[in-house]
Amino acid sequence: AQSVAQPEDQVNVAEGNPLTVKCTYSVSGNPYLFWYVQYPNRGLQFLLKYITGDNLVKGSYGFEAEFNKSQTSFHLKKPSALVSDSALYFCAVRDSSNYQLIWGAGTKLIIKP
């Protein structure tokens, strides 16, 4: 079955430190992968996507993600965290059978001053 896993419910990082939010996937064929961010009581905002090409994808607000085919992972990263990065982050992969997105459960990122 096709799926997405975000193994950490919550990640705590000190401001200025690098951050990583993990995502692994299982999908048939070539994966189409996405990261979104959600602030409290708001809709989701698109951060970045991997369709093909370079394994390191750069996105909005200084975020980037590394696609690793052998490990079936697509971890979200940022070199230096800001308090304003605190939010809920979702990883998603396109279902190859119906082209709908399969969502991870989300990871709450807390950046402490």
Partner 1 sequence: DGGITQSPKYLFRKEGQNVTLSCEQNLNHDAMYWYRQDPGQGLRLIYYSQIVNDFQKGDIAEGYSVSREKKESFPLTVTSAQKNPTAFYLCASSHNQGSTEAFFGQGTRLTVV
Which residues are near partner 1 by CB under 8 A? 4, 9, 32, 34, 36, 41-46, 49, 51, 90, 94-95, 99-101, 103-106
Tally of CB atoms within 10 A around 77 = 15
Find the shortest distance in angstroms from Cβ 74 to partner 1.
15
Find the shortest distance in angstroms from Cβ 39 to partner 1.
10
Structure tokens at 99: 């082209």
Amino acid at position 63, single letter? F
Of 45 and 55, the one with the shorter C-beta distance to partner 1 is: 45
Closest CA to 4 of 60, 72, 87, 70: 72
